[in-house]
Structure 1
């Protein structure tokens, strides 16, 4: 590779070679060309933020993975937003939070969702049973057919992940 080649130059080459393909892939997933174009752009922005690219033998597979993760984040955000808006619909008009408060809540829910997505499925399930359902560790162990020690270790991992998300920005 010539000395003038930079990570941004390499991403530019990927963009030129694969942008149309990634847009079509995303359009099939999303059913909307404009959203597909937006997420395709986000895919390449994500690559730029990562800095150096790994040696890519299969660039389309790599791009598809990045784009699929962005799609999953979009779907998760939409689901959270829809659930929040549905809960707001049950409020009396005088109890309705301001637009600014609604946006802040949605951003906080999105951040929590990203942290929870970072946990493994089992750890996430244990954490949610404890924190949302209020089950004790022995109750969780019994419900899932695991030992209390496994529950304790999962909760420790979940708490560490949450702590890191809040305090180790």
Structure 2
């Protein structure tokens, strides 16, 4: 590597030293929790560490902010999912409460499903969830969404293909 190439990249230790405090502060403003902000700052630098390409010297904070923003969104989504799950659990009688292990496994499964459905358009995702989880027919979903039964059929097929590709295309 030439000296010019080395000058255009920031070593990870320098990046961490120069920007970790700023990133923690930025994350605190988003999360209102210093411990969670510190965790996500560390996760951001771990993502940088496992990246294949080095960090350019141009606007390293923009890269850090982009990665951290994605982690914050994931954190918010997980928190909302967990709150909804806990609210549903609160409705169950004591005898039907899951064990701590079942609770953890269920949350992991819910996070996995939410991540799989993330790339779908809202109407497609809604139609799929109403069909698969709600047990509604295409006609009932069509009536609820104000679309044709054929459109619901296409939405469900699109969602199933999307999930199939995410699940099996990596193999």
TM-score clears 0.5: yes
Q: Name the residue aligned to 2:63.
A: 62
Return the offset for 1:151: 4.0
Once residues 57 and 154 of structure 1 are traced to their aligned partners in structure 2, the CA distance between those partners, rounded to angstroms, is 43
Q: How many residues align?
A: 167
For structure 2, the 5+ residue unaligned runs are none
What TM-score, normalized to structure 2? Answer: 0.78
Q: Name the residue aligned to 2:120.
A: 119
Distance 1:115 1:54, change over 3 A: farther
Tell me if structure 2 keeps the 8 A contact 1:56–1:62: no
For structure 1, the 5+ residue unaligned runs are none
Tell me if structure 1 keeps the 8 A contact 2:11–2:55: no
Give SS of 2:53's match.
Answer: coil
Q: Name the residue aligned to 2:16.
A: 15
Matches within 5 A, 1:45-56: 45-53=46-54
Q: Name the residue aligned to 1:73.
A: 74
Once residues 120 and 50 of structure 1 are traced to their aligned partners in structure 2, the CA distance between those partners, rounded to angstroms, is 29
